[in-house]
Amino acid sequence: MEIEQCLLESLPLGQRQRLVKRMRCDQIKAYYEREKAFQKREGYVKKLKHGKNRVRFNLADMIQDAIIRHDDKEVLRLLKDGADPHTIVSSGGSLLHLCARYDNAFAAEILIDRGINVNHQDEDFWTSMHVACACDNPDIVLLLLLAGGNVLLQDVNGNIALDYAIEGTESSSILLMYLEENGVELNALRQMKIQRPMTMLTDVRQLISSGGSVNQKNDEGVTLLHVACANGYKNVASLILDHGADLNVVDNQYWTPLHLAAKYGQTNLVKLLLMHWANPSLLNCNNEKPSDVAASEFIEEMLLKAEIVWEEKMKDPLAVSTLSQEEQYEEIIHDLPIISNKLPKRLFIKVNGNSVVKLPLLMREAGTSPENKNNMCSYKFVVRFVLLKIKWNYVEFSNVNLKFGTELKSQFVS
């Protein structure tokens, strides 16, 4: 409906208002018709159905929630609807890990009947048995043993499930009885852990005697000093330092040996590095000093004091070190790590084919969680296997596939 402006102005006020209102309604109607036609051409029509919108989750998420809530009927229904019993959770574990953590023996038995791997290891090499022992869920422990669970598998820290079972608990008693019945001696297990630093010390001596460099890096920038400091091998670190190791060497993510010693609570190694004048103010890729990643307040305080001494030394190179006058610190030993705050994933290095040592390897991961959005870069510890071959004049690092659990089991038995 169109009308000339002069004619509109000649009409009485009441008639003019009614006419303008009618014209406006025609405009709105024409607008909606055009929008509807446009949506049809684009291939969609918005249909508003109030009260009928539903949020849908995938079966993998739903079965995890059902296990946590002990909703056994829901678990059975979801498995019947096609939920995969071999679903991997965010930590790399299986649904059986969830059952072990939340003491859901019924769901665990159902999953075992569906063929789930009872020896599956997560990103930290924890099996369901490790989780069950750490949480002291004896029903799960017994169920896993009856299903063929391997109690000798080690996690990234070299601990078997028994190491996480609190002494005197039912879970501990069940495992001790099982090991005794199968002829496994606890002294042999402890001896194997003690042998690791000694074996690495022997290998490093062989490397030095053959003219190899103690500062050789692998593809990730990791050196032998990184390995020794991460594991607390003081004798190995001392030997490496005596033969010209770079105190402030960084890996590809700018982590120094001092960062690693602080991160993993190796107090004696922190002390050793500071006595050799390692720089406590160097930053890693997260702009963190060693004091920022310290495993304890004790180590943090020692590093903060060292930072002050380092600044004074930079101002006056002739200043006398006060570190040498400090008393010796006792080494921090993590006997029973807490399940809710497990140590990060570590890198296992095979030395000369007969020793396994662990090392945290920092790998880049884009920050996707809200707390990481403002970070310049975020990192996670990932498990890799590296073969350290000691030859006459050099150290060669190469990636290999290693059946970790099987090999360690054979070492235990032998």
**What is the rounded CA–CA span in Å between residue 223 and residue 219?**
10
- pLDDT value at residue 187: 83
**What is the rounded CA–CA span in Å between residue 118 and residue 144?**
7
Contact in structure between 367 and 375 (CB atoms under 8 Å): yes
Residue spans of alpha helices (H) in 182-256: 186-209, 224-231, 234-242
- pLDDT value at residue 319: 58
CA angle 381, 288, 388 (to 5 degrees): 40
State the amino acid at position 304 in one-letter form. Answer: L
Q: What is the DSSP letter of 359?
A: E
Q: Six-digit token pair at 392? A: 């006459």
Contact in structure between 339 and 351 (CB atoms under 8 Å): no
- pLDDT value at residue 76: 95
Q: What is the DSSP letter of 211?
A: T
Contact in structure between 106 and 143 (CB atoms under 8 Å): no
Helix and strand totals (H; E) in the chain: 16, 6
Sheet bearing 395-399, strands edge to edge? 355-359, 347-351, 385-390, 395-399
- pLDDT value at residue 57: 84
Q: Six-digit token pair at 322? A: 């006060």
Q: Six-digit token pair at 162? A: 């028994």
User: Nearest-CA neighbor of 343 among 335, 354, 331, 355?
Assistant: 335
Residues in the chain, how many?
414
User: Nearest-CA neighbor of 264 among 296, 222, 304, 298?
Assistant: 296
- Scan for tokens 């073969």, then name that residue: 387
Contact in structure between 116 and 96 (CB atoms under 8 Å): yes
- pLDDT value at residue 53: 63
Q: What is the DSSP letter of 405?
A: H
Q: Which residues contact 324 (CB under 8 A, 6 or more apart)?
A: 275
User: Nearest-CA neighbor of 91 among 128, 118, 42?
Assistant: 128
- pLDDT value at residue 199: 87
Q: Six-digit token pair at 187? A: 């002294």
- pLDDT value at residue 175: 93
- pLDDT value at residue 292: 93
**What is the rounded CA–CA span in Å between residue 3 and residue 276?**
95
Phi and psi of 309, rounded to 5°?
Answer: -60, -40
State the amino acid at position 41 in one-letter form. Answer: R
Global model pTM greater than 0.75: no
Q: Six-digit token pair at 82? A: 């096609």
Mean pLDDT by 10 residues, the chain (414 residues): 66 77 84 82 56 74 94 94 92 94 95 95 90 94 95 81 90 93 84 79 92 90 91 90 92 93 88 93 92 91 92 75 44 38 37 37 33 32 29 28 31 34
DSSP track, 318-338:
TPPPSGGGSPPPPPP--SS--
